[in-house]
Amino acid sequence: MISQQANIIFNQAIADYHIHDHVNTPISNPYPADSLEHLLYLKCWIDTVQWHMEDEVRDPHISPQEGLNWKRRIDQSNQDRTDTVEFIDSYYLKKFESIKPSFDATINTESPAWAIDRLSILALKIYHMRLEAERIDASEQHRMQCTDKLQILLAQQEDLSTSIDQLLRDISAGRKFMKVYKQMKMYNDPSLNPVLYAEEQKVKSKE
């Protein structure tokens, strides 16, 4: 089942990141570049780095310039995350290209890769909530509240894992079909972001 494999790889990526626990740590992906495992590890590594960048940008004492620098890094991370999700969906489109959906097949609300994206984020939430539940410098009330939240996250992980496996079985059997929409993010595209293309036009007008 893909969810079990994905959860193992996500935990591996999170553990590997926390060896050095620094956003500038270079990734060392242990899986072949053309494999699904490589994409799953990459996906969770991006999420893990971004998780910690989001922590940094919320520092109440951060300078405006440093905050802007983090914002730009987070924007690029979001683009990398989206690209990786679409690569995972491309893998499944290729895998299921010979499957002929039944006449009454239905489409899911999200593609397999976007469900896997949520599973990766859940793995991170579980890791960090477990740390909070075990914090020896926190109050007993804090640890108990975090333990309760951890149990909810674990139940959510189990339910989402089951749903992903069921979706892939349904696609494989022709009961559901894949239809992937590119995210078409606009803010990083110089031809679609009005601020960016206005600046480009200013430069051209001065030439």
Which of these, 92, 73, 87, 72, lies nearest to 42 by C-alpha position? 87
pLDDT digits (tens, 9 = 90+) for 89-127: 999 999 999 999 999 999 999 999 999 999 999 999 999
Mean pLDDT in the chain?
93
* Whole-angstrom distance, CA of residue 36 vs CA of residue 84: 11
pLDDT of 184 > 70? The answer is no
| Domain residue ranges of the chain, discontinuous segments joined by + | 2-188
pLDDT, residue 185, reads: 66
Contacts 24+ apart (CB under 8 A), 53-58: 53/23, 53/77, 56/23
pLDDT, residue 105, reads: 97
Q: Mark 137-156 as b/e (b = at least 16 C-beta within 10 Å).
A: eeeeeeeeebeeebeebeee
